[in-house]
Structure 1
Amino acid sequence: MANNTSYEIEIRFLAATAEEAFQLLPFLEASLGPEKTWATAIYGRAIYESGRLLRVGRVPAVDPVHYYLGYKGVDEGSFANIRQEWGEEITTGAPASAILAAIGIHEALATPQAVIERLAQAGHHPFMDFTGVDRLGYDPTLALHTKLMRCPKILGDQVMIELEVAADSYSAARDAEQRLRTIAHEFHIVERLVRDEPPTLLYQVTFLA
């Protein structure tokens, strides 16, 4: 699809409050940046049901609003979620999108709205959406990307904590999965881990509740 393919390796767990999460992971609070509001729509139910994910995200708390197109391959992990991931900013359009090309859309599109309309023309309609607030960060000692998410639609009053590593090959991704397993055991969060990713939780509350 694109030359900058990477693997995203993630584990996640729930906590009643941010303070509880900070007690469980002493490195977490210092790693996190400021809160950022987001809104994401999932496109193409057939794509989703094949195990992949196509999404358009908005960061509304900036001027102009920033738009992002994201695509994830099937989950290849066992302990952690391992997916190939591609991401493109489309705030000023998509002149040569590898993601769109992968789903059969090859023309240049000048605006985010044009991208959304072209997805609809190709049969990839938005079928579920959610909003939330994230604090993103990085812990250099553990070389971990960190996230604390609030999203009442799927989490209620709880918070979700994600720990993520990126890798440039499947072999490296499996090594990263083992490292996340070690970290989960070290900090005694194995029993708290949630295998389902946020879009899966969204599907459950939207269609299965």
Structure 2
Amino acid sequence: MSRSDDTRASAYDATPFLPDEGGLAAYRRAAADCRGCPLYENATQTVFGKGDSSARVVLVGEQPGDQEDRQGEPFVGPAGRLLDKALEEAGIDRGTAYVTNAVKHFKFTVVPERGKRRIHKAPSLRELSACKPWLRAELELVRPEVVVALGATAGKALLGGSFRVTKDRGSLLPMPGTDEEQYVVATVHPSAILRADDREAAYAGLVTDLRVVARALNGHRRA
């Protein structure tokens, strides 16, 4: 039984929609009905995380994009394809990873003069905070050794409001609020590379940061 059977969420809080028990499948089903913030009203669907339930690495982005919103899976658009390429080059098998976003619904604005194209809008702090219970639950269920924060929004969700990509990227940082040996490595979001003036340099930086993750995984093998 979901907590939402007994109480409804406030305007910006997903907590009442989390199930009382179960694994990732139970959380994914519950997230489909999340009304924890107003973003669900315009999004096509909830885009929950996907991947290995015992993954040693979890990749966290900002929010679903247009293609992710339509297909219901994270990182399946152009940024996802670039991420796949960077992971392979860094020596990380995405097939053994878990991928998700800090916010589970697509936030966008429609531009009529561009054929009603849906343009990404960054989630607000309130929306990020509202969705954090889902991300926290995913991390508790998967229990990865390393979490990769892809971009500023994911970094703030994991490391707090003072996080800055330019200052903290590429370093193996302890995960706040956990007693386990768990680390965060921050880097840029793949979509930022697609918008960069010098894509080649930006992409090389992403691969360099992901190699920090690969070295950490190689040095800390699970029993």
Regarding TM over 0.5, the answer is: no
**Larger RCO (CA within 8 A; separation ≥ 6):** 1
Q: TM-score range by the shorter chain?
A: under 0.3
More helix by share: 2
What's the TM-score, normalizing by structure 2? 0.27
TM-score normalised by the chain length of structure 1: 0.28
The structure whose residues are more often strand, as a share, is 1
